[in-house]
Structure 1
Amino acid sequence: QWSHHHSGDDIQPTGLRAPEVILGHPWDQGVDVWSIGCLVIELIAGTPLFAINPFTKEWTLDEDHLAQMTDVLGEQFPADMLSKSQNREKFVKEDGTFIHSAVPREPTWHLRSFLTSEYSLIRSNEKEIGGAYDFLRRCLHLRPGDRSNVKDLAEDPWLSTGSQTESTSSIV
């Protein structure tokens, strides 16, 4: 099976890139689940989940991207994940804070805010917001092992025909 054969680590478009890829942590099919989550939120909200343009010169593109991930998800990178990441020292100090954490950066919305924004296709449907949020949280975890697999995602209740509104049936 090819799922464990890697021809390189330069994978995924920047805005869809999973945290383990940026950090140089071992990766697997979980990177695809991360990308699915990023794409679904972009289809619903009409905007990318991560703005790939650092607010200041001090923050590198990748460091800012990782910081946005922690903001959007309300999680911090687990110490055991950072200890297995080849690029940790480029972005994160020993105490788990970002190298440039003292330098202000553009604030980032929390994941739920994307679903309720004025551009969201489901902003006025609380049931859809809840279902989409639960689905996205199954896709988007900083720790790769905490993400659902593709088979389980395909069986998510939010994707079933009965839970879709007219506004979302065209995107799922």
Structure 2
Amino acid sequence: VVQSAVSQPMKLPSEEEALHATYVLADFGCALPSKRHAHCNITPVLLRAPEVLLGGEWDTPADIWSFGCLAYELITNEVLFQYRTYDDFGLTETENLLYQMMFHACEEFEPTQLSICPLAGEYFNSNCRCGLFDRELKKEPTLGRWPIQELIAEHKILSDEECFAAGAFVQRCLRLNPEDRATAKDLLEDKWIRG
């Protein structure tokens, strides 16, 4: 027996209903038990945590990184990172993504983190300085700083106070070292979330 169903459009909630609704963000496309996993790519590349990008072991902090990227996107309606070459500096897609991670996290990778990531040697020299800055490039990219709070403020959608709080929340998710990232419990207790 074959049955057909006609898709019906969902009624949009009113603003009042939307403000009081409960939302759930979930994706079990790559659900795994919580323990260290090694050497497999998870998540779309623009949401991928640095330890995954560098071939290292990953665990729940990788989900926190992805959540931080999604939170930024939901706040600004733009993706945080771009996966493309940076021709001015001669950077590949992955090199540019690592560069952007450092640029917006406002920190550099720690030698201890890089020493346990198998692919780190492709992008960083033995002194744990980013090898992509040491090559002969058209221009040497200077590692600047562009904090998340300032990126959010540029959109002029939140008050200054709200930009700071939202940016601080996202920044807690986007620490380069997974050990420094907030936990899900920490984020649930964040003053920005609690209002």
TM-score, shorter chain, exceeding 0.5: yes
Q: Deviations over 1:111-137 (max 9, x none)?
A: 2221111x3521xx1221121122112
Equivalent residue runs for 1:1-150 within 5 Å:
2-4=33-35, 6=37, 9-56=40-87, 58-101=90-133, 102=135, 103=137, 104=139, 109-117=146-154, 119-122=155-158, 125-150=159-184
Normalized against structure 2, the TM-score is what?
0.73
Consecutive unaligned residues in structure 2, runs of 5 or more: 1-31
Determine which structure has more spread, i.e. the larger CA radius of gyration. Answer: 2
Amino acid at match of 1:47: E
Work out the CA distance in 2 between the residues paired with 1:92 and 1:120.
36
% identical aligned pairs? 32
Q: Deviations over 1:15-63 (max 9, x none)?
A: 1110000111211000110011111111212211111111128322111
Alpha carbons of structure 1 residues 127 and 143: separation in structure 2 relative to 1, 3 Å: same
Q: Deviations over 1:45-83 (max 9, x none)?
A: 221111111112832211110111111111010000011
Consecutive unaligned residues in structure 1, runs of 5 or more: 164-172
Structure with bigger RCO (C-alpha 8 Å, 6+ apart): 1
1:167 corresponds to which residue? none
Normalized against structure 1, the TM-score is what?
0.82
Work out the CA distance in 2 between the residues paired with 1:156 and 1:109.
22
Is the contact between residue 73 and residue 110 of structure 1 (CA under 8 Å) also seen in structure 2? yes
Alignment RMSD (CA, Å):
2.3
